[in-house]
Structure 1
């Protein structure tokens, strides 16, 4: 039987998390507050020794175990912050912990778990996905009698995370709207079940990545349901299915759910850095991205907003990607494609129409004797409204303009590939793939798909995550498409066909029907 709301309240008040956790600071983001016209307060969970809130729930779970369970040890499956929280907690409790991590986990995260756990944490690398690692952890718990420490779907873990709500109420009792990131839901469940009982007029808004919106899917279905796929950028919230117990609580205590995209998350990372000089991980910046989105949808001033920087375990190499995308998220940049006539003076006229705007990117490719195609990035001072005006101006002057600011394939791949087309290639089909980052992933791909069909295009991008992003083209005669699809299923990599994507059609395919869709 689930805990009652009152029982959660009592347990959160008595939770022994401060054996290992610190009461993290609540800081006002002065620059962001001034720009938004509302006070924005940020709870600094990056100040925990493992750089995330996960320590609270992991330690509270271990503290709830009896002596027999402690002696038997614990097991957890995680590729991120939960693994570090369990490892450090096991070290503090002086018990043995087994941490099962996918083989694709970056070395920096594996090393962090080993360092936090010391002699008390053993890392087991198993499988190429979280689900496989979780199944192995469950098997080990059954074989060896370990207690499974779940990352979010556990009452004791939820109680531990709820101690953040207790601190918030002490530090800033007049916050009127609180924004909380949601992955599996343990953080938002613990905070909301505590605060809503003591301050029922407080508005709580859950923030999800639009690539892993499992709470929205569950609310729509009336129960937790698995997402077909999840994105890899905000890996701290990349959860396919919301936890059963968190969902029960969130249904009752969360007032609204907002989703944010990758560019908006990158902009929020920059916002936090500008005010604090702290670099949040993508999941850690969700609450700030949510505040921006909420104010776009509900313009207001004079309110007191709270958010939680729930983690700062960012891979350094991710920063180049964040830097590329943050101004798009802030609507301070636009990227677009333009057809220009291929004759003397055409480029100069185009630049004149830009009206002195700063060009952030320019890729040019000769297309035919009559026209050229260019990929352009420009700085915006007036947001999307300014770009709409520019687009109208270009169209009025005979330049066909196609906005690519929201086109993921264009931003991730095509901007780096502008420069060539096949001279005569029939039946080309384009797919985007997620490649697991482990030895043999490319050869598996080639052995499954590359020997039967001609590969016509290949572009790889990695932004410091556990999977690389690949754009690949194949020459597939119509009669062979069913067979190709069978090989795709056997490959078992996440993929999406991009053949009709306008960025591909504009820059990389033949010239027929570029603006048809």
Structure 2
């Protein structure tokens, strides 16, 4: 039986006819912060700005006689399949939910050109997947799963082969994001127990953690799609067969709002554009702390397909997580000077970002939605203490998800 490491190396070598290896770059900023030798594997610099084209390449090169490839995806997998269909001269039909942002549809169409047909089906991915698999069976195509496929796992393992070649050895520790598990399974199969491992998931899509607790892949009841590149309801059976022994102690879940602080930091400090899933491994360094001090650590920056129309949302989430932006409902007396009284409670670093009367017909009091931005979280302790002392009635709704959905 051919050694898996040899398969991954061969796949990586074959890929050089289509695209160069992605760089493994030491990051001085992160290395100084964590007292470690931090390297970033920059999959965001691939031709489709993610690692997903690797699995598609490997599957297509191993099926030279297969004319039609079918996929279901609303993101990076669709773009990787489209890119490789054009490279190999294959026909591709890619099913995407009707709700897919136009930017992703346009990029998939751009990479695939005339080689790819895009079909928009259903409001949710499950409907899209069902339609894709039904079409594939009828048309005699090859369904290319984004992660639950041996050829895809082998192709994603080319990331590990490149890391070893570029670094000259296995790193001491590897931090890898987990979605459906194809990339992490390939990495583990390649490096084994040599390095230390940290597997990172978004809090709203921790399917590996759920599977490890259950002892088998299980479907999450609800998925937060903010980190869409890693927000998967159920880890793949084939990847989990390789990951079932990694242990819960080696997994981390990252709150989506905290992830936004890292996206902004990498953009503002390093000029690196990362999508939410692509920032997971870097954000995880905050939790690893002293355990990685003095070690050589590789973080996989898995994707940079970031829609800049989302930047205001990312900034908002980051501010709320950092505690420098809050929303509250204030009961304001309907009398002359009441607003002025409230304004005098604000400090020199406090700024009103939102002010909206919610009820304009109340005779004695009016409810006001107020958003305040400040420079440091501690300023809110002073503000709320002042409001309490002056007898204002208010409710902090920053963490109230239901109210926030309706009002913010």
TM range (shorter): 0.7 to 0.9
Distance between the aligned counterparts of 1:276 and 1:214, measured in 2? Answer: 31
TM-score, length-normalised on structure 2?
0.86
2:245 is paired with a residue whose SS is: helix
C-alpha separation in 2, matches of 1:356 and 1:217: 47
What is residue 481 of structure 1 aligned with on the other side?
none
SS in 2 for 1:314: coil
Is the partner of 2:244 in helix, strand or coil?
helix
Inter-CA distance 37–396: structure 2 relative to 1 (3 Å threshold): farther
Q: Which has the higher contact order (CA 8 A, sep 6+)?
A: 2
Is 1:113 paired with 2:104? no
2:357 is aligned with 1:361: no
Q: In structure 1, what is the Cα distance between the partners aligned to 2:383 and 2:296?
A: 36
Q: TM-score, normalised by structure 1?
A: 0.69
Matched, 1:285 2:279: yes
Q: In structure 2, what is the Cα distance between the partners aligned to 1:360 and 1:289?
A: 30
The structure-2 alpha-carbon separation of the partners of 1:307 and 1:73, relative to structure 1 and needing over 3 Å to count, comes to same
For residue 222 of structure 1, what is the aligned residue in structure 2? 215
Equivalent residue runs for 1:240-389 within 5 Å? 240-253=233-246, 256-295=250-289, 301-329=293-321, 331=322, 333-337=324-328, 339=330, 342=333, 354-359=346-351, 361-363=353-355, 365=357, 369=364, 373-381=368-376, 383=377, 387=380
**Kept after mapping to 2: 8 A contact 1:176/1:304:** yes
What is residue 46 of structure 1 aligned with on the other side? 44
1:29 is displaced (CA, Å) by 3.6
Query: Tell me, what secondary structure is at the counterpart of 1:19?
Result: coil
Give the 3 Å change call, closer, same or farther, for CA 360–183 of structure 1 in structure 2. farther
Q: Distance in 1 between matches of 2:396 and 2:36?
A: 32
Residues 1:288 and 1:346: Cα distance change in structure 2 (over 3 Å)? farther
* Contact 1:328/1:334 (<8 A) preserved: yes
1:233-257 Cα shifts (integer Å, max 9, x gaps): 2222232111011112122246522
8 Å contact kept, 1:185–1:243: yes
Change (3 A) 1:7 1:393: farther
1:438 equivalent in structure 2: none
Equivalent residue, structure 2, for 1:20: 18
**Correspondent of 1:87 among 70, 82, 85:** 82
Q: For residues 361-380 of structure 1, give each alpha carbon's deviation from its aligned partner in whole angstroms, at most 9, with x where no partner exists.
A: 24254766367655232324
Q: Are 2:174 and 1:178 aligned?
A: yes
Of stretches 177-186 and 392-401 in structure 1, the one that deviates more from structure 2 is 392-401
Q: 1:360 to 1:63 in 2, by over 3 A?
A: farther
C-alpha contact (below 8 Å) 1:17/1:160 kept by paired residues: no
Q: CA, structure 1 residues 14+142, in 2 after alignment: closer, same or farther (shift >3 Å)?
A: same
Q: How many pairs does the alignment contain?
A: 400
Q: Hey, what's the Cα distance between the residues in 1 that align with 2:382 and 2:293?
A: 28
Q: CA RMSD in A?
A: 3.0
Give deviations 1:25-48, integer Å, cap 9, x for gaps: 223344444445555432211211
Q: Distance in 2 between matches of 1:338 and 1:311?
A: 38
CA distance in structure 2 between the partners assigned to 1:150 and 1:93 by the alignment:
18
CA separation of 1:141 and 1:407: change in aligned 2, threshold 3 A = same
Match of 1:61 in 2: 59
Which sections of structure 1, spanning at least 5 residues, go unmatched? 416-517
User: Partners in 2 of 1:218 and 1:368 — Cα distance?
Assistant: 56
Q: Secondary structure at the match of 1:237?
A: coil
2:31–2:38: 8 Å Cα contact kept in structure 1? yes
2:93 to 90, 98, 111: 98
1:155 partnered with 2:150: yes
Could you say what secondary structure the match of 2:119 adopts? strand
Q: Is contact 1:174–1:304 with CA below 8 Å preserved after alignment? A: no
- Tell me, which stretches of 5 or more residues in structure 2 are unaligned? none
| CA deviation profile, 1:420-464 (whole Å, cap 9, x unmatched) | xxxxxxxxxxxxxxxxxxxxxxxxxxxxxxxxxxxxxxxxxxxxx
Q: Look up the match of 1:204.
A: 197
Aligned partners of 2:268 and 2:315: how far apart in 1? 13
After superposition, the C-alpha distances for 1:217-237 in whole angstroms (9 at most, x for unaligned) are 211211111122222322222
The 1:108–1:95 alpha-carbon spacing in structure 2 relative to 1, beyond 3 Å, is: same
Q: Structure 1 stretch 149-158 or stretch 18-27: which is displaced more?
A: 18-27
1:238 aligns with 2:231: yes
CA shift in 2, pair 1:148/1:300, >3 Å: closer
Compared with structure 1, are the counterparts of its residues 393 and 251 closer, same or farther at alpha carbon in structure 2 (3 Å cutoff)?
farther
CA contact (8 A) 2:170 2:191 kept: no
Note if contact 1:37-1:301 (Cα within 8 Å) is conserved in structure 2: yes
Query: Which residue matches 2:4?
Result: 8
CA 1:221–1:267 in structure 2 vs 1: closer, same or farther (change >3 Å)? same
Structure 1 249/362 Cα, relative in aligned 2: closer, same or farther at 3 Å?
same
Once the two structures are TM-superposed, the CA of residue 150 in structure 1 deviates from its matched residue by: 0.9
